A and B are shown apart, each in its own frame.
Chain A
Amino acid sequence: MAATVEQIERKTLGKVRPHQTQNEGLVFEKSAAGKRGYKLPPLDVPEVDAKAALGPAYRVEKAGLPELSEIEIIRHFTRLSTWNYAIDLGMYPLGSCTMKYNPRVNEYVARIEGLADAHPYRPESLAQGVLEVIDLLQRCLIEITGMDTITLQPAAGAHGEFTGILLVRAWHESRGNARRKIIIPDSAHGTNPATAAICGYQVENLKSNAQGGIDLEALERQVDEDTAALMLTNPSTLGVFENEIHKIADILHAKGALLYMDGANMNALVGKVRPGDFGVDVMHLNLHKTFSTPHGGGGPGSGPVACKKFLEPFLPTPVLVKKDGELHWEYNRPQTVGRVRAFYGNTGMFIRALAYILANGPDGLRQTTEDAVLNANYIRKNLEDLYELPYKTPSMHEVVFSDKRQAAKGVKTGDIAKRLIDYGFHPYTVSFPLIVHGALMIEPTESESLEELDLFIEAMRSIAKEVEESPDLVKSAPHSTRVSRLDEVQAARKPVLRWRHENK
């Protein structure tokens, strides 16, 4: 009987008890003509006959938007919110995503009058406050990365990659040859090859060595006068620091190629080692990972690009400069790659990231990195007897296991991930990096207490036991959520991407 199974499952859950959620329809289904959630003040200027003013451009039929009162709106979105897991509820160990605490003071200061309502075209003389914030953040990030200069314009990590590779391309072009290919390790994020492709480069795959790192000999064979750059994630997506990083840089530089670093994993390095010191020419940061700006269910992010001096002429315009004690945007830069975004970037995220840096200071930033690495290693130590560790190389801020032992029982990484939900955790990153078959990629971040880590370890150990004793329980998880596993095949075969009024 299904109910009994459910009871048994729920008893096993240490951290959580079943959570009561309320059903809630789509906002359109709750709409009724004549309800209002707004009231505009009376118009203090004469009305305009819109039909006459706009002529054929007049919209006859109003858009099919919902009509609800304010209390219904509050309940609707509050109920929806209760169906989400979040960092505020518990550990969110998504590898590569750095789901750390998002400090509330960040949200507060980003909404301060004068910053939140500053128009991007207001005269610079009236924008010195926000420009000083941007300037200080730039200086902090340059110091943290050990690079020479920076642009904050890119809107997210992949956008930063795009900007960084354009800098590489522009530099090569200025020397007479854009070159044709970008080398990317097989352990890389999907954004890396996608970025190289949209910048007009061919992608050449580099196979990882037995330790999951860069194979120096293979790299030496592959790099030639046609190589524009290597896109390297360091620490790698396995959470492993490339300890021969200086040799990697040397191999590239000897052939006139550049070293691009994907800064997705900077949370393992801040305050301990700087990419600019180990040979990186250009890199991006993810403010929504390392610098605590919220993921918000998928964005917004911010992807600053830091680089060495020789790439500075190519930075996107405008560039912030100081003249006579005042900050200005400089537009006239003949060698620029051009703009990558309107205005200056996701300023609201700059404010949050700077608030995070100020709250930490040099000692806090270093301690943060140390705690992140400590947490990952603690998890590794406590799970390595039950889960296969495909690469034994020391872990930095994340640890990657494989489902090899569990797969023998027919249970895959995706199943274990879903079962973790029943224990009150968000799953780790599933099936990535691609070089590990059936990967479990766990990044606890520094934000987890010993208590939460122990609960996570207990959950993972308990699931390993369940895999041995009742694999079907794991394979059909989650059992405690509002909806059970969703039919992704149907969603893709017959896409329903919007509600339609005729459905009401």
Chain B
Amino acid sequence: MAYPANYRYTKEHEWISLDGKIGTIGITDYAQNSLGDIVYVDVPKVGDSVTANNSFGSVESVKAVSDLFSPVSGTVSAVNEELKTSPDKINEAPHETWIIKVELADTADFEKLLDAAAYEKFVSEETGA
């Protein structure tokens, strides 16, 4: 699956897209693939603050839990309610299924992240492929 060029990525396998000050965050195809069928997503509440590189929630498969790390610092402006009942959306369309939206404290955070090419390279190194 292609990694969208307008997104930025973390080494913990989150993606983020930016629209004005609002960042939209999800997990990458690589992440959903290594987790397997996602059964539950634990997310913060709207209004909670998140900090770059810190955990803001978790995704669970049947036999594993994986922390979600925020790519940026800011305030949660929306959470994807649909994931409560349909966490499988992440497996189906990881790059279209967002988890939270964050109002960035500093949009410069965005540009510090990996771009698609760099992330793809990172993933291929990690898998040894």
Chain A interface residues (CB < 8 Å from chain B)? 488-489, 492-493
User: Which B32-61 residues have a C-beta within 8 angstroms of A?
Assistant: 37, 39-40, 60
Tell me whether B108 is interfacial, beta carbon within 8 Å. no
Shortest Cβ distance from A497 into chain B, in angstroms?
A: 14
Distance between B103 CB and nearest chain A CB, rounded to angstroms:
31
**Nearest CB in chain A to that of B62: its residue:** A488
Shortest Cβ distance from residue A437 to the other chain B in the assembled complex, whole angstroms = 13
Q: How far is the CB of A420 from chain B (nearest CB, A)?
A: 19
B88 at the interface (CB under 8 A from A): yes
- Cβ–Cβ < 8 Å partners of A493 in chain B: 39-40, 87-88
Apart from A492-B39, A493-B40: 10 A-B pairs, beta carbons within 8 A: A488-B62, A489-B37, A489-B39, A489-B62, A492-B40, A492-B60, A492-B62, A493-B39, A493-B87, A493-B88
Q: Is the interface of B mostly helix, strand, loop or mixed?
A: loop
> Can you report 12 residue pairs joining A to B where beta carbons are below 8 Å apart?
A488-B62, A489-B37, A489-B39, A489-B62, A492-B39, A492-B40, A492-B60, A492-B62, A493-B39, A493-B40, A493-B87, A493-B88
> Which residues from chain A contact B39 at a C-beta distance below 8 Å?
489, 492-493
Residue of B at shortest CB range from A414?
Answer: B63
**Closest Cβ of chain A: how far from B126's Cβ, in Å?**
15
Complex Cα distance A492/B40, Å? 8
For residue A492, which residues in chain B have a CB less than 8 angstroms away from its CB?
39-40, 60, 62
- Contact size range, B: under 10
In the complex, chain A residues whose CB is within 8 Å of the CB of B62: 488-489, 492
Tell me the minimal C-beta distance from B106 to chain A in angstroms. Answer: 31
Give the Cβ gap from A433 to chain B, nearest Cβ, in Å. 15
Q: Which chain B positions have C-beta within 8 A of A488?
A: 62
Please report which residues of chain B, range 9-39, place their CB below 8 angstroms from some CB of chain A when the two chains form the complex.
Answer: 37, 39
Question: What A residues does B60 contact at CB under 8 A?
Answer: 492
Q: Is the interface of A mostly helix, strand, loop or mixed?
A: helix
A492 nearest in chain B by CB position = B39
* In the complex, residue of chain A having the shortest beta-carbon distance to the beta carbon of B88: A493
Give the shortest distance, in Å, between B90 (CB) and chain A (any CB). 12
Closest 3 A-B residue pairs measured CB to CB? A492-B39, A489-B37, A488-B62
Give complex CA distance A488, B64 in Å. 13
Q: Which residue of B lies closest to A431 (CB)?
A: B63
Complex-state Cα separation, A489 to B60, whole angstroms: 11
CA distance A493 to B40 in the complex (A): 7
Q: Give chain A nearest CB distance to B100 CB in angstroms.
A: 20
Within 8 A of A (CB), among B76-94: 87-88
Which residue of chain B has the shortest Cβ distance to A488 in the bound complex?
B62
Distance A493 CA – B60 CA, assembled complex (angstroms): 10
Contacts of B88 in A (CB 8 A): 493
* CA A492 to CA B60, docked complex, whole Å: 10
CB-defined contacts of B37 to chain A, threshold 8 Å: 489
Task: Give the docked Cα–Cα distance between A389 and B44 (Å).
Answer: 44
Residues of A within 8 A of B87 (CB): 493
Q: What distance in Å separates the Cβ of A417 from its nearest Cβ neighbour in chain B?
A: 14
| C-alpha spacing A377/B87, complex, angstroms | 46
Q: Chain A nearest CB: distance from B2 CB in Å?
A: 26
In the complex the two chains form, what is the Cα distance from A488 to B40 in whole Å?
13
> Closest residue to B40 on the A side, CB-wise?
A492
Complex CA distance for A492 and B61, rounded to whole angstroms: 8
Closest-by-CB residue of A relative to B60 is A492
Docked pose: A489 CA to B87 CA in angstroms: 11
> Which residue among B40, B60, B62 has the maximum number of chain A CB atoms within 10 Å of its CB?
B62
Q: What's the minimum C-beta distance from B5 to chain A, rounded to whole angstroms?
A: 32
In whole angstroms, what is the CA distance A492 to B87 when docked?
11
CB neighbours (8 Å) of A489 from chain B are 37, 39, 62
Q: CA of A488 to CA of B39 in the docked complex: distance in angstroms? A: 10
Residue with the greatest number of chain A CB neighbours at <10 A, chosen from B39, B60, B88: B39
- In the complex, what distance in Å separates the CA atom of A492 from the CA atom of B62? 7
Distance in angstroms between the alpha carbons of A488 and B63 in the assembled complex: 9
Q: How far is the CA of A493 from the CA of B59 in the complex (A)?
A: 12
Name the residue on A nearest B36 (C-beta).
A489
Cα distance A288–B60 in the bound complex, in angstroms: 31
**How far, in Å, is A447 (CB) from chain B's closest CB?**
29
Bound together, the chains give a CA A289 to CA B88 distance in angstroms of 40
B84-114, CB < 8 A from A: 87-88
Nearest-CB distance from A3 to chain B (Å)? 30
Q: How far is the CA of A108 from the CA of B39 in the complex (A)?
A: 45
Nearest-neighbour CB distance to chain A for B65, whole angstroms, equals: 12
A492 to B37, CA, bound (A): 10
A413 to chain B minimum Cβ distance, whole angstroms, is: 13
Shortest Cβ distance from A294 into chain B, in angstroms?
27
Shortest distance between the CB of A359 and any CB in chain B (Å): 39
**Bound Cα distance from A320 to B60, whole angstroms:** 46
- How far is B58's CA from A422's CA once the two chains are assembled, in angstroms? 37
Give the distance in Å from the alpha carbon of A239 to the alpha carbon of B22 in the complex.
Answer: 53
Q: Chain B's nearest CB lies how many Å from the CB of A163? A: 27
CB distance from A233 to the nearest CB of B (A): 22
CB distance from B59 to the nearest CB of A (A): 12
Nearest CB of chain A from residue B80's CB, rounded to whole Å? 16
Distance in angstroms from B32 CB to nearest chain A CB is 13
**How far does the Cβ of B36 sit from chain A's closest Cβ, in whole Å?**
8
Task: Give the shortest distance, in Å, between B38 (CB) and chain A (any CB).
Answer: 9
What's the Cα separation between A488 and B88 when bound, in Å?
14
Which residues from A are CB-within-8-Å of B40?
492-493
**Closest chain B CB from A99 CB (angstroms):** 22
| Distance, CA A351 to CA B60, complexed state (A) | 42
| A488, B37: Cα distance in complex, Å | 10
In the assembly, what is the distance between CA of A481 and CA of B37, in Å? 25
Give the Cβ gap from A276 to chain B, nearest Cβ, in Å. 37
CA distance A492 to B59 in the complex (A): 13
Quick one: closest B residue to A493, CB to CB? B39
Q: Provide the bound-state CA to CA distance between A88 and B53, in Å.
A: 52
